[in-house]
Chains A and B, each alone.
Chain A
Amino acid sequence: MTSTQKLPERHSIGQAMKRKEDPRFIRGKGRYLDDIVLPHMLYLALVHSPYPHARIKKINKDAAMAVPGVKAVITGEDLVAAKLGWLPTFHGFDNQMVLAIGKALYQYQEVAGVVATSREAAADGAELVEVEYEPLDPVVDPYQAKLDKIILRDDREAKTNHIYHWEVGEREKTDAAIAKSDVSIKQRILSPRCHPAPLEPCGCVSDMNGATGRLTVYMTSQAPHVHRTAFSLVTGIPEDKIHVISPDVGGGFGNKVPVYPGYVVATVASVILGVPVKWVESRTENLTTTGFARDYHMDVEIGATKAGKVTALKVTTTADHGAFDAAADPRKYPAGMFGIVTGSYDFPTAFAEVDAYFTNKAPGGIAYRCSFRVTEASYAIERAMDILAQKLGVDPVQLRRQNFVKKEQFPYPSPLGFVYDSGDYEATTKKALDMIGYDALRKEQAEKRKRGELMGIGVSTFTEIVGAGPGKHFDILGIKMFDSAEIRIHPTGSGIVRAGTRHQGQGHETTWAQIVAEELGLDPQELLVEEGDTDTAPYGLGTYASRSTPVAGGALALAARKIRDKARKIAAHLMEASEDDVEWKDYKFSLKGVPGKSVTMKEVAFAAYTNPAPDTEPGLEATYYYDPPNLTFPNGTYVAVVDVDADTGVVKVRRFLAVDDCGVVINPMIVEGQIHGGLAEGFAIAFMQEIKYDEGGNNLNTDFTEYLIPTAQETPHWETGSTVTPSPHHPIGAKGVGESPNVGSPQAFVNAVIDALSPYGVTHIDMPLTREKVWNAIHGAAPKA
C-alpha cells in the first residue's frame, strides 16, 4: 500500500448510526410490561405498613374478600405455609421477607397482596385489609443502629444490627502515614440515600400454566437469566419450566436488578389461581419500597506533604442498608468496588473499611447508574481532594495533576487491589481545561470575587471501575459474571444476534449490530438484535454496572470472530485455495498475492448453506461466553461553572463540560446521549434528590412532588469531548460509558458550589445542595475578613 492510498473507513464501529429501536418507540409501539394483557388476567395490589417498625398482631381478610371481583388475599403467613415467606438476597448474606412476617420493618413494607379481576377492584380490596399493628420504636439513624439498643431483626441468630465489616488495604501503615504527614484533612462525607426512579415503574405478569407446569414471567428485568435462576432456587420449580421475558424496559438505572415482593406474590397468586396475574407498582411504591441507592456515611482522611504530594488515604464508612441486606453486590464484594476510592491518584498507601447496619428503612443498596458502590467512592475522593487543595491553598486542578497516576504507570496496581487497565489522565484533563478555558475562568472568578460575586469552578477527574467481571472474583448467586452472545448468519447474509444482556435505552439493538457488522463486514441494518427472552437468548448476567459493552460486547466480537474463522475455510473452498492463502482484508476474504480475487461474507454465508467445504459443518453460527480477564477503567475530566446568588442560595450552572475516555467508541451519537443523560442524573443527585426519613421513620419523599426529577428548564446545557485510550484487554478496546457521567459529575457540581462559597470559609456541604443549605452556608458563617 502506498502512502497515497486511503485506508479503508471503519465499516461500522465509530459510525453515528441512527438507532434501530427507535421506529417502534416514536410510533408508540414499544411493548412495555404494562402493555401486556393476557386472557383472564387478574391484578395484584399490595397493602403497605404505615409504621416503620411494628408488630403485626392480626390480619383480617374478610372485608377485602367481600369486595366484588376480589379473588384472593395473601399474607406473609400464607407465604410461610407455602415455604415462600423468605427470599435470599443476591449476594446470599441475608434473607428478605416477601410479605411482612410477625413484624413490619419499614414504612411502606408490603404486608399483604390482594388479587382481583380489575386494577380498581384490587385497589379497593387492598384498602379494606384490616391489619392490627403494635407500633415499636424505630431505628432510623445508622449511628443509633450501631448501639444495638433496639434489635431490628429478631429473626437472625446474631442479635445485633451490624451486618458486616469489610476492609481492604493496610490499616497500620495508612494510620502511620497520615499521622506523620505535613498536612492532613478529615471530613465526613455523606452520599445520601437516593432512588433511580426510572419513568416506567417495576412490574410483572406471572403466568403459571397448570397443564404444562410451565411458569412464564414477563417482568421489568435488567437481568432476566439471573431472575430465572433466582425464581427456580426460591420456588423449587425446575429452571426449564421457567420462562422469563423482559419486554421493552422503560429505564432501569439499577432499579430493575433485584427481585421484589410484588414479583413473588404475583407468581404465587398465579400458581394458586391458575390464571395470569399482573402487578405494576405505583410511583409511590417505586420510591418507598424498591431498591434505593447509596446511603454511605464516609469519614475520609488524606495525608500529604507540604508540596502537595498525597501520602495516604483512609476511608471509614458507615453504611445504612435498611431493613434487609438486599444490596445487589457480587458475593465476594459486600461493599462492591468501593476499593476504587483511591481514584485517579497515586497513593503510596491506603485503607478503606465499611460497616453496614440494619435500620427501619426500605432495603436496597443497589447501584443507581453506577458500578457497585463506585459513585460513593468517586464522590468521596473527588470531594476530599478539593478539601485538601483548599487547606493547602493550591489550585484543585494543580493538586490533581501533581498526583495523577501517570500514563506510563499502566497497567497500574492500585494500593487497594485493582489493576487499572489504561488511561491518560493528564491528556484528558488538558483537553478539558483547554475546551472550557480554565485559566480565563479563574481570572474572571478573581475579578468577580473582588466585587463580592460568587462564582465557582468545580473539577472532577474521576476513574471508574466497570465491567464486572472476571469470574475468578465476581459472581451473583454463585454464577460467574461472564456474558454471552449468539450469532446466526442466514443464507442471504442477514442475521440474528442475541446476547445475555437486556438494554433499557442504551441502544444495544444498534450497537450490537455495529460490533458484529464490523467484525464480519455485513450490513448492521440487516442484523436483528434480540435480548430479554430466556428461552432464546444465551445465558447472561444482564445489563447494569456498565457491564454490557465490556462483557457482552467482548462476547459479541469473539462470537463473530468464531464465525469468521469458519467463514475463512468456506472462502478458501470457494476460491479453490488453501486456507493459509486467504486473508481477511478490507472486510472481505482475499487471496494473498492475487489482486481482485476475493469473496464477501455474504457470498460465504450463502455457500455455508448451499456449498460448504467438504469437511465443514453446514450453517454459519457461533456462540461465545466471555469471561473478561480484567475490569475496565473508564475515566474523565468534568468541569462545572456555577454562579451562586448569595441572597437566595440559588445556584445557576452556567457551563458543564464532560471529557470522557471510554476507550473505543462504537457509536458516538449513542455515547454522547448516554453522557447527557447521566449528567442530568448527576445534576439531580447533586442538587435535589434525596430519600429522607424523619426521626419517626416516615419516608418524606414518596412521589415526584417530593422526590424531584429535573425538568428541561433547570437542566444545564451539556458540552462534551473525548479522548480515546483503548482498553488493552478488551476485544474491541471499549470500556463502557453509561455510568461515567453519573459517577463523575455530582462532585464537579458540589466542588463548584463549595469553590464559590470558599470566601465564606465553607469547605463542605452534604448533597443535595438545596437553596436552603446553600443559603445557610453563606449566612451561617461570617465572611472572612
Chain B
Amino acid sequence: MKINVTVNGTAYERDVEPRMLLAYFLRESLGLTGTHVGCDTSHCGCCVVLLDGDRAVKSCNMFAVQADGHAITTVEGLEQAGKLHPLQQAFWDQHGLQCGYCTPGMLMTCVAFLKHNPKPSEAEIREGIAGNLCRCTGYQNIVKAVQQAATADEMVAAS
C-alpha cells in the first residue's frame, strides 16, 4: 500500500506491506534506527515516537499504514540546528541513561509529557513515564533529567 508520511519534517511516499509495523518502517525503510524494539507487546516503550507533534505512540503497536497522512517525530528529529533538545541535554547532564537502549523512546515520551504537563511533580513524572521501561538506571536520574528539562529556559518559554 502507498502511504504519505512526514518524518522529522521530511515528506516520504512509500509502498509498504499492510502488516509492516511503524517501528520497522522507520528503522528499515527510512534507516532511522534510533527507534528501538524491545518487547513486541507494547510494554517497554523503546519504540515511542511522536504522532503529529505531541502524541507519544508506541510504534511497534501501530502499522505503518496507520501513519498515512500524519507527521512523525523520532529521536533523530529532536536536535535542532546543532542544539540538543533540553531533554537530551538533561539526560546527559543527569546521567539519565546507561546502555542507551530505552533512551530514544524515553526521550520521546518525556517530550510529549512535558508538552501536556510543563510543571510536573515527581509523582506525576513517575506516572508519566510508567509506559517506558528502563533496566539500567532505576529511574531516579531520569526523573531528575525531566525536572531539569522542565526548568530549561526554552521549555519554560514554550509552555
Contacts and interface: CB of A to CB of B under 8 A. Distances in A.
B17 A23 contact: no
Contact of B99 (A119, A198, A282): A198
Contacts of B78: 27
Interface in B13-52: 17, 19, 24, 27-28, 32-41, 43-44, 46
A199 B92 contact: no
Interface in B71-101: 74-76, 78-79, 84, 88, 91-93, 95, 97-101
Contacts of B114: none
A28 B77 CA distance: 9
A35 B46 CA distance: 14
B92 A34 contact: no
A669 interface: yes
Contacts of A198: 99, 101, 135
A711 interface: yes
Majority secondary structure of chain A interface residues (helix, strand, loop or mixed): loop
B97 A676 contact: no
Nearest to A27: B79
Interface stretch (A57-65, A210-218, A248-256, A342-350): A248-256
A677 B101 CA distance: 14
Interface in A491-538: 504-507
Interface string A679-722: 11100000000000000000000011100010111010110000
B17 A249 contact: no
Interface string B119-159: 00000011101111111111111110000000000000000
B94 to A, nearest CB: 9
Contacts of A200: 36, 38, 99, 101
Nearest to A681: B135
Nearest to A711: B130
Given A30-B100, A251-B99, A680 B41 contact: no
A283 B39 CA distance: 5
Most buried by B among A23, A282, A680: A680
A253 B84 CA distance: 30
A29 interface: yes
A712 B129 contact: yes
Contacts of B104: 28
Contact of B135 (A197, A282, A703, A712): A197
Interface residues of B, number: 56
Nearest to B142: A712
Contacts of B57: none
Contact of A32 (B93, B101, B133): B101
Interface stretch (A14-22, A131-139, A555-563): A14-22
A634 interface: no
A277 B140 CA distance: 39
A250 B36 contact: yes
B19 A120 contact: yes
Contacts of B65: none
Interface in A188-215: 197-201
A676 B135 contact: no
Contact of A28 (B74, B95, B126): B74
Given A18-B93, A28-B34, A505 B99 contact: yes
Contact of B98 (A27, A31, A506): A506
A43 to B, nearest CB: 11
Majority secondary structure of chain B interface residues (helix, strand, loop or mixed): loop
Contacts of B97: 22, 25-26
Contacts of B136: 251, 505, 673, 677
B5 to A, nearest CB: 18
B7 interface: no
Contacts of B134: 199, 712
A704 B41 contact: yes
Contacts of A29: 34, 76
Nearest to B28: A37
A319 interface: no
B84 to A, nearest CB: 7
Contacts of B76: 27-29
Contact of A26 (B92, B98, B101, B139): B92
Most buried by B among A26, A198, A675: A26
A145 B36 CA distance: 41
A248 B97 CA distance: 13
A520 to B, nearest CB: 25
Contacts of B99: 198-200, 248-251, 504-505
A233 B126 CA distance: 48
B130 A677 contact: no
B127 A680 contact: no
Contact of A676 (B27, B33, B74, B140): B140
B156 to A, nearest CB: 21
B102 interface: yes
B103 interface: yes
B139 A712 contact: yes
B61 to A, nearest CB: 13
A776 interface: no
A714 to B, nearest CB: 8
Contact of A705 (B43, B98, B107, B130): B43
Contacts of A24: 100
Contacts of B93: 18
B40 A284 contact: yes
A45 B71 CA distance: 33
A703 to B, nearest CB: 5
Contacts of A120: 17, 19
A676 B75 contact: no
Contacts of B103: 25-26, 28
Nearest to A22: B92
Most buried by A among B84, B102, B125, B136: B136
Contacts of B141: 673, 676
Contacts of A21: 100
B37 A34 contact: yes
A201 B44 CA distance: 12
Contact of A283 (B41, B79, B131): B41
B138 A677 contact: yes
A670 interface: yes
A715 B36 contact: no
Contacts of A675: 138
Contacts of B100: 21-22, 24-26, 30, 248, 250, 505
Given A250-B99, A505-B99, A712-B129, A705 B92 contact: no
A35 B138 contact: no
A705 B78 CA distance: 31
B145 to A, nearest CB: 10
A34 B102 CA distance: 14
Given A712-B139, A713-B126, A718-B138, A677 B33 contact: no
Given A21-B100, A28-B75, A712 B40 contact: no
A570 B127 CA distance: 60
Nearest to A284: B40
Nearest to A369: B135
B34 A22 contact: no
A249 B142 CA distance: 20
30 contacts: A19-B92, A19-B95, A25-B97, A25-B100, A26-B84, A27-B34, A28-B33, A28-B76, A29-B76, A30-B100, A30-B101, A34-B36, A199-B133, A248-B99, A251-B98, A251-B135, A251-B136, A253-B135, A282-B40, A675-B138, A676-B138, A676-B139, A678-B138, A680-B139, A703-B40, A711-B126, A711-B130, A712-B139, A715-B138, A718-B138
List the 8 shortest-distance A-B pairs measured between CB atoms, nearest first. A28-B34, A250-B101, A25-B100, A505-B99, A676-B138, A505-B98, A28-B75, A680-B138
Given A25-B97, A28-B33, 20 more contacts: A18-B95, A21-B100, A22-B91, A25-B103, A26-B91, A26-B103, A32-B36, A34-B33, A34-B36, A199-B36, A505-B100, A674-B98, A680-B135, A680-B139, A681-B135, A704-B41, A704-B133, A709-B44, A712-B127, A717-B140
Interface of A: 18-19, 21-32, 34-35, 37, 119-120, 197-201, 248-251, 253, 282-284, 504-507, 669-670, 672-681, 703-705, 709, 711-713, 715, 717-718
